[in-house]
Each structure stands twice: as structure tokens, then as C-alpha cells.
Amino acid sequence: MIKCSRWLLSVSLKSNGDQYRYYTLIDQRKQQSTRFDTYKHCLHIDVQEKLALVMIGRGNYDNTNVLGTWIGDRHLIVALNKDEYEFLLELTYGGDTGKQGKGSRKKDTAEVS
């Protein structure tokens, strides 16, 4: 398992090699995961490059730079940095409604008079 990153992206492949449309964001320290639909949300170019490198088996360069790893035949994990994770999380949820959409995860606090 990847121990160098707190934030991970989980991707599964169909038997024909195509990716499933749903990916999962994982925060290891908080032990939280968030599933999102890639048809609705695009991956950042840096994340796409990491995913491609892991898919072709070049994710491990040495012990200090691990981009990701394969878990079984059709499942892989990609290490994310904090900015990549937060960008994908921002795209995934609109507010705290739990519904997908663009928007902030911060609660709107209105003053009551």
C-alpha cells in the first residue's frame, strides 16, 4: 500500500480494460472516502498523468517517489497531493448537500437577527 501520501485516488477497470466511470477519493488520516462520477467531472492534468503512468506500470521510480500502485488485476491507487485532492473534492460536492456539483464545501453561515 502507498504510505507516502495521505490522499489517494482509487480507480477500477472493467474486464476489457476500460475504466469504470466512478472513482473514489480517499483521505487516509481522516479515514474518509468520497465517490465521484468522472463523466461529470474532469481530472486535473497532473492527476491524469499520474494515472497514466501507474496504468502502464511505471508508477514506482524509487522508494521516495511513489505515484501509485496496482491492487490486484483491475484496481489501482494513485497518490495525490493536498491541492489535487482538494481540487477534486471541490468539484465533487456542492456545499454540504452530498449532491454532486461545482461549488464550495464550506457551509454558508448567515447571521440571524
pLDDT at 54: 86
Report the length, in residues, of the chain.
113
pLDDT at 87 over 90: no
Residue type, 86: E
* Per-residue pLDDT reduced to its tens digit, 26-51: 998 888 898 888 877 778 888 889 88
This prediction has a pTM of 0.70
68-70 and 32-37 beta bridge pairing: unpaired
Q: What is the distance of C-alpha 43 from the center of its chain?
A: 9
What is the DSSP annotation of 23-77? EEEEETTTTEEEEEETTTSPPPHHHHHHHHHHHTT--BSSSS-B-EEE-SSSEEE
Burial class for 64, CB neighbours closer than 10 Å (0-12, 13-18, 19+): exposed
